[in-house]
Amino acid sequence: MAPKCPNELKPAIGMKFNNLEEGLEFYKSYAFAAGFNTRKSTTKRQRRSKEVKSQYILCNKEGYKEKRKATVEKDLNNKEGESNEEKASIKRKRLVNIGPVTTFRIMKEVVGGYDNIGAYKQDFKKFHRDLKAYIQGSDAQMFVDNFTNKKLMWSAFFFDFEMDEDYCLCRALWADPLCKKSYALFGDMVSFDTTYQTNRHNMVFTPFTGVDHHKSCITFATSFIAKEDIVSFKWLFRSFLNAMGGNEPNCMIMDQDPAMKIVVTSLFKKNEHRLCMWHIMKKLPDKVEKSIMQEKTSFLKKLCACVWHLEIEPAEFEERWNKVMVEYHLEEHEWLVYMYKIRTSGFWRISEMCSLEE
């Protein structure tokens, strides 16, 4: 059935555009009027100049057809110099970011020597390159399809995502039933961390974690975001609440990101925002004089014994903190005084949970 939209927005054979961007904008407008979204697919470039030669535009629901997948996989598997077992090993190793050279060395240990592999190192590199090219441009779609299928087959599985104006994946969050159960039992305090930067797609890995009754780290939800801004954090925290049935944690432990503070204050009604001890201690060398931070002064050792103590009570924490401040003449240190004041009501409570960030 042909999409219904104004004739002036419909593409026609022989249409010409002044440049690539003009053509892309035309198809975005057509897709919007017709009731679907588009995404960029294969891009071909000139060998020397690297200028775009052609750009394929697809419906955002489009994936590789089974026939095409089978053809490409058959072509990959028909490469000479490697057995199917070796190719399967390369595929498995790639999933955990192990490259072809390391895979080649591992295979040597498995089969008892390089002479028994039946392929050269260059063969491993070529197959790894072809495998990477096979999924390039469709890996985000494969990611979304995989979790969407899990959601369809597993009603308790939560998955949500968003795309940006270029129809590229920019935000995603998921949680399985075990994560939800863990949150129901131990979700009174949640640590949210944005320190994990992925190296392949330039997205930030942002897990929601906590601590169980055995003092072991547990995962409540997992997510990716392309930007650390108010829009992304607002979407992320709302999705997290949706995944957990609208139940807010009592305390969120984060860094001092201003965007996070704005979102938490506006979105959560009963939640307390606590600073992550790991981030505080990471900034310490930049805030305290080098002469004090030197190893021979034992300042850092004594301060860590205070803030990283697992079973410290409020009164004991304050006593130890004040003792360290007096010993090193830091009672009037602006940054340390500020950190202490804004955390006085809950500073000691988060030391145990933040130890998982160390």
Structure letter (DSSP) for residue 271: P
Does 227 reside within a domain?
A: yes
Distance CA 49, CA 176 (A): 47
Does 292 reside within a domain?
A: yes
Give 7-41 pLDDT, tens digit per residue. Answer: 777 888 888 888 888 888 888 778 777 777 777 77
Query: How many CB atoms sit inside 10 A of residue 211's CB?
Result: 18
Does 151 reside within a domain?
A: no
pLDDT at 300 over 80: yes
Give the closest residue to 179 by CA, choosing from 147, 221, 212. Answer: 221
Distance CA 170, CA 175 (A): 18
Per the CB < 8 A criterion, the answer to whether 131 and 94 are in contact is yes
Q: Which domain holds residue 52?
A: 7-59
**Integer CA distances (angstroms), 235 to 66, 98, 163, 229, in order:** 34, 33, 12, 10
Q: Which two tokens stand for residue 78?
A: 């028909």
pLDDT at 241: 93
307 against 184, higher pLDDT: 184
Last residue of a domain, one of 241, 275, 309: 275
Give the closest residue to 303 by CA, choosing from 342, 260, 347. Answer: 347
The answer to whether residues 12 and 76 belong to one domain is no
pLDDT at 109 over 90: no
Give the closest residue to 104 by CA, choosing from 59, 92, 89. Answer: 89
pLDDT at 66: 44
pLDDT at 183 over 90: yes
pLDDT at 265: 80
The DSSP element (H or E) to which 190 belongs, if any, is: strand 189-192
Does 130 reside within a domain?
A: yes
Residue type, 180: K
Strands 204-205 and 38-45: unpaired
Per the CB < 8 A criterion, the answer to whether 30 and 9 are in contact is yes
Last residue of a domain, one of 247, 275, 303: 275
The answer to whether residues 168 and 269 belong to one domain is yes
Q: How confident is the model at residue 67 (pLDDT cuts 50, 70, 90)?
A: very low
Number of domains in the chain: 4
Does 149 reside within a domain?
A: no
R_g of the chain, CA atoms, integer Å: 27
The mean predicted confidence, pLDDT, of the chain is 77
The answer to whether residues 45 and 73 belong to one domain is no
158-162, 196-200, 211-215, 237-241: range with lowest mean pLDDT? 196-200
The answer to whether residues 50 and 76 belong to one domain is no
The answer to whether residues 100 and 127 belong to one domain is yes
What sections of 313-356 are H helices per DSSP? 314-327, 334-343, 347-354
The answer to whether residues 265 and 167 belong to one domain is yes
The answer to whether residues 245 and 333 belong to one domain is no
The DSSP element (H or E) to which 263 belongs, if any, is: helix 258-267
Does 40 reside within a domain?
A: yes
Does 152 reside within a domain?
A: no
Give 95-106 pLDDT, tens digit per residue. Answer: 545 777 787 788
Residue type, 87: K
Give 81-95 pLDDT, tens digit per residue. Answer: 566 666 666 656 555
Give the closest residue to 220 by CA, choosing from 321, 340, 88, 353. Answer: 353
Phi-psi region of 24 (alpha: psi -120 to 50; beta: other; left: phi over 0): alpha
pLDDT at 198: 62
Which one of 139-143, 227-231, 307-311 scores highest in mean pLDDT? 227-231
The answer to whether residues 269 and 167 belong to one domain is yes
The answer to whether residues 174 and 100 belong to one domain is no
Per the CB < 8 A criterion, the answer to whether 299 and 292 are in contact is yes
The answer to whether residues 181 and 261 belong to one domain is yes
The answer to whether residues 127 and 171 belong to one domain is no
Structure letter (DSSP) for residue 115: G
Distance CA 279, CA 274 (A): 11
Strands 158-163 and 251-254: unpaired
Residue 190 maps to which CATH number?
3.30.420
The answer to whether residues 311 and 262 belong to one domain is no
Distance CA 233, CA 241 (A): 12
pLDDT at 284 over 60: yes
Three-class DSSP category at 325: helix
Give the closest residue to 118 by CA, choosing from 96, 163, 148, 86. Answer: 86
DSSP string, 200-238: SS--EE--EEEE-TTS-EEEEEEEEES--SHHHHHHHHH
Does 45 reside within a domain?
A: yes
Last residue of a domain, one of 232, 250, 275: 275
